[in-house]
Structure 1
Amino acid sequence: MRLSMRSTAWVLGWALLAPWSAGAQDDDDGSVKFIIPTEPDRGCPKRPDVVPFTSRMQAGLEGSGWLVHQAIIPESKDPYFKGLERDRAGFKRVDELDIRKLGAPDPTIPLWIYGKTDTVPCRAVPSAWWAVRMGATDAERKTFLMAEVQAECDLLPPGRLSGTPVALRQKDEPTGCKLRRPTERETGKEAEGLPSDVMEYVPARDCDMPECGRLWERIGASWEDGTTVSDFLVTWMERAGKKNPCDWATEDLSVVLHKPIGALTPLQLRNGGSVFFGGLHDSAGLKFILTRDLMSLYVHEVAKPKAAPKAVRYSSPSEEDLMVQQRTLSPCKVKR
């Protein structure tokens, strides 16, 4: 009996000290088990450190895979490319002991890599560093510090925008924070009008069939609360009696649109990229919108729609990139 009373007192004492969120459960044998709740999701960070990736092929390295952006090495601190070497592309290994003075972040802070849409990010750490000289013009040419990564998951190979990885750099796993990719697609044929919700963002112009044709495409994502984000592309094609699509004069317009909760029409995201890359969201809804342009990634905070997005320059375009950078629905350029 004494043992039973002591046990009861011990249980009551712990019950008083236990957190309010903890619970107790009686088993069939009369014993008491405490149910300790799991740690709540951290959600998306308030100020995310978003880190983009570049394919190894884009950087000039052999093999398939990705390099994570670390820093842009200033010309005054670049010991790898000097003289005539600065005028052409190339890459050189970087000793791990030198990375911090070149601007690299703390390598002990892990990366949490997002791959496919709405999947849990996997942990990764930089493993080998490269100085990569890139750029087709003097203005674009820079030396980038990039790193290979050791990841706890398999990343999709380069070649698919929906599989291009992106990471958050932070100490703790961003549990509950996911990246939704643009997987919804809508297209308009030449004879179809524009969707009513984009009319105010597309300038009016005379374009009558058959001498002028207009195509449009919308690619985006939606959330359960009614939020949507998409990039809308429209192409006008002046035929001028010519049959070859490559002889037509074309004009292209691309805008990124965000429709918040409860809004009837979308808002245009300005000062960022023209391509919707994805949206970081948690249980509270969409938190950050990622857009991209040629070799730059932009982070838009949903709660501050008028604030300028954070821009991350992570690579420089090659001559081929500059040739195909313009998005278009022209049959000529699409086929090429």
Structure 2
Amino acid sequence: MRLAVRLTAQAWVSSLALLMPLVASAQFDDVDTFPASEPERGCPKRPDVVPFTARNLVGLPGSGWLAHQAIIPESKDRFFVESERDRSGVKLVPEDVDVRKLGAPDPSVPLWVFGKADSAACRAVPVVWWAVRMGTDADRKTYLMSELQVDCDVLPPGRLSGTPVALRQKDAPTGCKLRRADDNSTSDEGRGLPLELSDVLPERTSCEAPECQRKWEIFSSRWDDGSAVFDIAVSWMKRGGKKDPCEWATEDHTALLLRPAGALAPLPLRSGGAFFGALYDSTGLRTVFSRTLGVLNVHDAAKPKVAPKAVRYGSPTEEELAHGKRTLSPCKK
């Protein structure tokens, strides 16, 4: 009972700490986070990226975010022992525990959180630490996460496009901003697939209406210099004389594409995934983020053919693995 009381009290304190800066920041939406006289540092060449997870996804009550800090080695995991390691759970890390010994990065290096689209990053400070056990029997780990006190507005959990991301570095990344996908188009609108994108998709000459139907969806972001990122999903569905969409033979294909400034056609980014956002500054597009189950991919926009840096922040559950496939099939599985 004592543990439950302590957890609840600390959770209330952290919730107030998270809410207070949000209320204050709402009055200054049009004010830059950093002084105008400070020279722009721009986006880092090799960003140390910190992903976020919604509180409710790890079993904590309330609305808010947890920042991924480290994966706790099994040899140092004193939070989940014996049979507890066989199931998911979340436990408060006591204040007297040295989180550096659990794998946490140097706390003297601040986090700079990007929340809303096209806004500057703001400084964040860890206030409460949690040990989160998640995954399946085949791949279950304990993650060290923290609640943050932030100095700017962060959108509540709900959609992928509102999930924050942070950089861990000494100086503020002044002049660096995060852009989300700001355009969306689908085959349901009656338009054909843009020519510059259709060339990168596999041909399906045997797919002819009405026996076979092709559906597509595109999420994208563009910049003034002509660079752009395209996230494409395509599904070919053969009816085979059956009325139930769940009985149609369906083939799905996804691609994440980058069109560099001055290029005529986009290039596929290796180890793609769902387009998460992109960092840019006065020099143009710098870093593209994509996300797969439990992994945030960090692509260098200047080197689209190079494999991205993969930052792991969670282990998917059986349910997430079963429903993680991206498809445009009308079948509701």
User: Structure 1-normalised TM-score?
Assistant: 0.84
Aligned residue in 2 for 1:266: 266
Matches within 5 A, 1:236-315: 236-271=236-271, 273-315=272-314
Aligned residue in 1 for 2:202: 203
CA contact (8 A) 2:270 2:304 kept: no
Task: Indicate the SS of the match to 2:230.
Answer: strand
Aligned residue in 2 for 1:224: 224
Query: Given residue 292 of structure 2, which amino acid in structure 1 is its aligned partner?
Result: D
Identity of aligned residues (%): 62
The answer to whether residue 118 in structure 2 is matched with residue 90 in structure 1 is no
Structure 2 distance, partners of 1:316, 1:62, is 20
Query: Given residue 245 of structure 1, which amino acid in structure 2 is its aligned partner?
Result: P
Structure 2 distance, partners of 1:53, 1:74, is 20
Deviates more, 1:289-298 or 1:246-255: 246-255
Give the superposition deviation at 1:192: 5.7
Give the superposition deviation at 1:245: 1.8
CA contact (8 A) 1:190 1:213 kept: no
The answer to whether residue 64 in structure 2 is matched with residue 65 in structure 1 is yes
Query: Given residue 307 of structure 2, which amino acid in structure 1 is its aligned partner?
Result: A
Structure 1 distance, partners of 2:196, 2:249, is 27
Query: Given residue 202 of structure 2, which amino acid in structure 1 is its aligned partner?
Result: P
- Greater relative contact order (Cα < 8 A, sep 6+): 2
Task: Indicate the SS of the match to 1:307.
Answer: coil
Matches within 5 A, 1:71-220: 71-96=70-95, 97-135=97-135, 137-189=136-188, 193-205=192-204, 206-220=206-220
Structure 1 distance, partners of 2:109, 2:127, is 12
CA contact (8 A) 2:270 2:306 kept: no
Deviates more, 1:185-194 or 1:279-288: 185-194
Give the superposition deviation at 1:193: 4.6
CA contact (8 A) 1:189 1:214 kept: no
Q: Which ranges of structure 2 fall in alignment gaps of 5 or more residues?
A: 1-35
Give the superposition deviation at 1:194: 3.5
Matches within 5 A, 1:323-334: 323-333=322-332
Give the superposition deviation at 1:50: 0.9
User: Structure 2-normalised TM-score?
Assistant: 0.85
How many pairs are equivalent? 296
Aligned residue in 2 for 1:45: 44
Structure 2 distance, partners of 1:91, 1:322, is 21
Deviates more, 1:193-202 or 1:292-301: 193-202
Task: Indicate the SS of the match to 1:215.
Answer: strand
Q: Which ranges of structure 1 fall in alignment gaps of 5 or more residues?
A: 1-36
* TM-align CA RMSD: 1.7
Deviates more, 1:221-230 or 1:116-125: 116-125
CA contact (8 A) 2:116 2:153 kept: no
Query: Given residue 91 of structure 1, which amino acid in structure 2 is its aligned partner?
Result: V
CA contact (8 A) 2:67 2:147 kept: yes
Deviates more, 1:137-146 or 1:216-225: 137-146
Structure 1 distance, partners of 2:278, 2:178, is 5
After TM superposition, what 4+ stretches of structure 1 lie above 4 angstroms from structure 2? 190-193
Give the superposition deviation at 1:191: 7.3
Matches within 5 A, 1:11-26: none
Structure 2 distance, partners of 1:247, 1:187, is 23
Between Structure 1 and Structure 2, whose CA radius of gyration is higher?
1
Give the superposition deviation at 1:307: 2.2
CA contact (8 A) 1:190 1:215 kept: no
Give the superposition deviation at 1:306: 2.6
CA contact (8 A) 1:290 1:299 kept: yes
CA contact (8 A) 2:268 2:304 kept: no
Structure 1 distance, partners of 2:44, 2:201, is 35
Aligned residue in 2 for 1:234: 234
